[in-house]
Amino acid sequence: MSNPAGTPPVRRFLLALLCLGGIHYTAPWSGPQAVLNAFLVLGLAPGFTSPLAGMAWAAAGGWVLEGTLRLYPHLGGTAFGNMLACLLAFSLVLRWPPHALRPYWGRQAVLVLIHALLIHGSVRFAAGPHAWGTGWLWSLILVPAWATLALRLHPPLHRK
Amino acid sequence: MAILLLGHLLWMILGRGASTRWQNLANLLAAPPRAVSGRLEGWRSARREKVGNLRQAEAELVNLRAQVTGLLTAREAQAPRLAEADEAVRLLGLKKLLPLDFRAARVVVNVRKAPFGGMILDQGEDAGLQPDQGVIAPEGVVGRLWNVGATQSSLLPLDAYNASTGVMLARSRATGVLQGLGPGKAAIRYIGAQEVVQVGEPVFTSGLDRVFPRGLLVGYVSAVLPHDVELLVEVVLAAPLDRIGLVLILPPHPQVEIQPPAGPPRAANGKAAGP
């Protein structure tokens, strides 16, 4: 993951696009939607060469998620939280590239919690109090699945 | 990157709370399209209503046309009966004016313009008819019965070449014999050259032939020509022989003079009845 150039950019782009589509089409099921959002923000977006590109994908995921939900404020809180979480994940990957799967799971689990707090806080800041939901729990439980996929898609340099 | 983050943050700050800034801005931006859309919807609604009214009017027009066609057809179907009814009314009026025992008959065939043609009436011996009974119409004298069959009779009109009728002029009271000259025309013979006859003068029956009583209108003088010692007086017949449908048949050998029916009864002391 510290060497994003090692992954074909077209495949990464298509995968992020697929995630956006998944976020859009899983709107009736908030759990899988939150998992896809977490995978895009914490798994795929930090793998882009430029942090700006990653943040743009994260913001796009947040806007798509807000756009698909009817009873949810559409003021950019989710996109803002996504961008902050993506920036944090990007800096962690740069500073401490993942060496093994299980520590990576733990880091992603912590990032899921931080991501959920950031989203909740920014949405609360933008639109006021709102329900927590169970999306963060789905993302946390399914960390081994999506984090493993993300690590295999973006392997660290020393593992090559 | 900072612009992206700060832009989102600014967006959140401007839109947070119960502020209606975005709503007002959105409303402001949406006002022109909304106005255009309102006008468009109003125009479409008006057009829809106009189209609906037009279709309704067209349907009513079609219905009215059908009704008018039906009424015209019915009127055309009723026209002969109405004409006959009018003629019957006039005949009834004539019948009331003349104190004679008339018999009404319908002309079933009119071949008067054919050589030696005439008219066929729908009554014959079964109705007690006999030859030489006079036939009249409200407009004037028509002719006489020529041949009477069992159920029909032929009529010799006044304008037939072999028809002769005793007539008199209205002013001079000179009598003569009317002879047919062809369709619608006849001439009076045996009028002395010393008689003064004016064009347009009415011609009545004289009653001398014992076919018609005296005083029935025959026609009007159309020309007066000297012919040796007599005048040849041409007459245009008053009865429209071409379009006659109902006629009255006079009784055989009627009285020469017929008296008009009595007038309204007068009240005593010489005062007229009524107001």
Q: What is the pLDDT along chain A (160 residues), one digit of tens a residue?
A: 444 445 567 888 898 999 999 999 988 888 999 999 999 999 988 888 788 989 999 999 999 998 887 766 677 889 999 999 999 999 998 888 888 888 999 999 999 999 999 999 998 888 878 888 889 999 999 999 999 988 887 665 443 3
**φ, ψ of residue B262 in degrees (nearest 5):** -65, 150
Strand segments, DSSP code E, in chain B are 103-110, 119-121, 134-137, 140-148, 153-157, 164-169, 175-182, 185-192, 202-205, 217-227, 230-237, 246-249
Which residues does A102 contact at the CB level (< 8 Å), separation at least 6? none
Q: What is the pLDDT of residue A98?
A: 84
Of all residues in chain B, the one with the smallest CA distance to A77 is B12
**Count of other CB atoms within 10 angstroms of residue B148:** 21
Do residues B155 and B121 touch, judged by C-beta distance below 8 A? yes
Chain B residues within an 8 Å CB radius of A59: 4, 8
What count of Cα atoms within 13 Å lies in the side-chain half-sphere of residue B62?
5
Interface test with B, best of A63, A72, A83 (most B CBs within 10 A): A83
Roughly what angle, to the nearest 10 degrees, separates helices A51-68 and A30-38?
170
Chain B residues within an 8 Å CB radius of A46: none
What count of Cα atoms within 13 Å lies in the side-chain half-sphere of residue B197?
31
Query: What is the nearest CA distance from B65 to chain A, expressed in angstroms?
Result: 58
Contact B5 A55 (CB under 8 A): yes
**Closest Cβ–Cβ partner in A75, A79, A83 for B16:** A75
Name the amino acid, one letter, at B235.
Answer: V
Contact A52 B9 (CB under 8 A): no
Measure the CA–CA gap between B231 and B194, rounded to whole angstroms: 8
Chain B residues within an 8 Å CB radius of A125: 12, 16
Contact B12 A83 (CB under 8 A): no
CB-neighbour burial class of residue B252 (10 A; exposed 0-12, middle 13-18, buried 19+): middle
**Count of other CB atoms within 10 angstroms of residue A34:** 26
Q: Is the CB of A56 inside 8 Å of chain B's CB atoms?
A: yes
Q: What is the pLDDT of residue B19?
A: 55
Regarding beta strands B246-249 and B230-237, do their DSSP bridges make them parallel or antiparallel, or are they unpaired?
Answer: unpaired
Look at the pTM and tell me if it is higher than 0.90: no
Chain A residues within an 8 Å CB radius of B9: 80
Please count the residue pairs, one from chain A and one from chain B, whose beta carbons lie less than 8 angstroms apart: 40
Q: Which of helix, strand or coil describes residue A128?
A: coil
Contact B4 A55 (CB under 8 A): yes
Measure the CA–CA gap between A9 and A15, rounded to whole angstroms: 10
> What confidence tens digit (pLDDT) does each residue in A97-132 have?
888 888 999 999 999 999 999 999 998 888 878 888
Q: Is the CB of A25 inside 8 Å of chain B's CB atoms?
A: no
Q: Tell me the β-bridge partners of B186.
A: B180, B235
Percentage above 70 pLDDT, chain A: 89
pLDDT of residue B261 exceeding 60, the answer is: no
Closest among A120, A122, A153 to A19, alpha carbons compared:
A153
Which residues does A44 contact at the CB level (< 8 Å), separation at least 6? A12, A15, A16, A19, A57, A150, A153, A154
